[in-house]
Structure 1
């Protein structure tokens, strides 16, 4: 054992979150309990606990990182202790350490139980965007031990391999099938037979196997139509003069939903409307809906005709707003009812110690919905409300200019807010991979255009008030969709010929020459689609 390192929790550079990554050498012998070394502190959101009691990292990797990232903002951190390791020893690395290995260091018996799954803090530590993913791609993550026998250890102690239970399953090979070849169902199933894995890995493997099995089923099976289930409105509560919360429920125990999901409601008149889920699960959830002055029947019906005890059909619940776990900082920009898209994110990000700020513009104190939920986010400056009634103006340009390194931006609000953010982001060179736009309203009308479906020769006329998606479905063609406001990209169709008036944010810039979003974008004149 060449070095033994520990640390107290410290605030990360330019962030408010704390970390235990800044570990310093300890020269005295230390007691190692089931939760780690004496005096070593962890952010228990991602690190620490019995399956992550002690971390080891191969020191030979640092020279490679320095050579591969010569322009890293904090290149000097590529040195011993940079990854927040507790143990430093020559020769032991991901290619000769196996899951389940039992090793004795001094009076402590340890067992390898997890490859490290790096979080965003490594990106921030070294000043390299996306760096965490590089560590598992190159199998340079290090590994975690659980403590089988507590005791004392110190610099100079021998590290003795006591028992090797799974000689073919090195850390590198585990990462090959967990990350790089994670569609290999046979190998994933074999890996799950290793009982020594920590709970984090067991859960991750189950998710990957479920995903592979679902993909195989989908391959051999015709796509099922969207399933509509009956929910009951159990609470209808005014939040502001124009915004009401609706809580829907059905019998059963629901599955937890990640932040950023929306639900599709089918109204009696046939209209289908997606709304952001403020809180809840798959059996009971809450929405916040604004009564739009120019409503075509969606919000008007819900506000004026739907009452507690009434039934409504609910379709797919789909993720729209992403969770960008590798960002160092998160900036939410919301206006009016748009805040509903981000309330779950802000709540969860606070719980897991993500650095975030919510900028919220409203028309006045009486127009703020979900005040209780917003209040729970705290008064530590992370929530900034701009009250139009007090002549407070949100300066989007300034927010974006002053963003900290490796920030991800989320925007949901009126179209003018989204347009201004697009303009400012373009001026500042913010890439599409650094910002997400969530439109809750999108004008889909426009000049009529004609469409030819290349494979069949079918010709369609898309009227001023209709969308291409609607016309394709009316013609009996199956086209997937989800949000139907241009956010998610599910309704994408390939364009072979013709000019497109692109709308929405769900299509990457480089794809706009060959595709369009059928739910919101329109053709100019005539299109040929595949």
Structure 2
């Protein structure tokens, strides 16, 4: 059974040294440090109550209202970072889930969680901030190349979500393309050109995501948001 293991929200704060030029030390602003909510939270069309976004150009908005990660990836990321374990919200996600994974979550499918209806809108594009969050320059690129990015939800029906809520798949889109398959295609556009073209035909997906695919296919994609140098 797929269910929510933990719910997290965070406030935007400033970290680091304003005078430093070193990537791992210089000043940065983020809401990546999420705190576990002990009580169920209201989810509106813009996201969970109490959650903030520091960079509203690249994060947040109705198509990226809720960010999710699979707990099945936690052991892998703990090992990569050289840690024994990771706390819930370690990937800056709002919802940590079990029973769902990038390999079985389908682009555009609709999930019921608590009293809310959510639609899988796009994979996460890991940016440099997750590397700063864990003080590891290679982390962002590793998330990108592995395809274990997590995914975003668009909120179709507002409601209440809490720890322990079961996740029910209400409807799946066709063609059935998983988050992992979509990430592999984005990583190797020449090899998976047809799949990327098929993704563009899925009507429910975020327009910004489709635009990034068009640029990827035309070799105009800017991956500067991942830069850690």
TM-score when scaled to structure 1?
0.39
Q: Secondary structure at the match of 1:60?
A: helix
Deviation at 1:327, TM superposition (A): 4.0
2:48 aligned with 1:37, yes or no?
yes
Residue of 23, 28, 50 corresponding to 2:34: 23
Any unmatched runs of 5+ in structure 1?
213-321, 329-407, 409-530
Q: Secondary structure at the match of 1:169?
A: coil
> In the aligned structure 2, how far is the partner of 1:323 from the partner of 1:106?
36
**Alignment match, 2:78:** 66
**Alignment match, 1:129:** 137
Q: Bigger relative contact order, structure 1 or 2, given CA contacts below 8 A and separation 6+?
A: 2
**Alignment match, 1:326:** 226
**Alignment match, 2:19:** none
**Alignment match, 1:265:** none
Deviation at 1:134, TM superposition (A): 1.1
Q: Secondary structure at the match of 2:118?
A: strand
The answer as to whether partners of 1:182 and 1:208 remain within 8 angstroms in 2 is no
Higher normalized strand content (fraction of residues): 1
Alignment map for 1:16-165 (pairs within 5 Å):
16-43=27-54, 44-70=56-82, 75=83, 78-165=86-173
**Alignment match, 2:9:** 6
Q: Secondary structure at the match of 2:153?
A: strand
Q: Secondary structure at the match of 1:148?
A: strand
TM-score when scaled to structure 2?
0.86
Any unmatched runs of 5+ in structure 2?
17-24
> In the aligned structure 2, how far is the partner of 1:184 from the partner of 1:198?
20
The answer as to whether partners of 1:98 and 1:167 remain within 8 angstroms in 2 is no
Deviation at 1:51, TM superposition (A): 0.7
Greater C-alpha Rg: 1
Post-superposition Cα deviations, 1:81-109, rounded to whole Å, max 9, x if no partner, equal 11111112212110010101100111110
The answer as to whether partners of 1:4 and 1:86 remain within 8 angstroms in 2 is yes
> In the aligned structure 2, how far is the partner of 1:91 from the partner of 1:24?
22
> In the aligned structure 1, how far is the partner of 2:156 from the partner of 2:48?
13
Q: How many residue pairs were aligned?
A: 216
> In the aligned structure 2, how far is the partner of 1:210 from the partner of 1:164?
29
Q: Give the root-mean-square deviation of aligned CA atoms.
A: 2.2
The answer as to whether partners of 1:78 and 1:126 remain within 8 angstroms in 2 is no
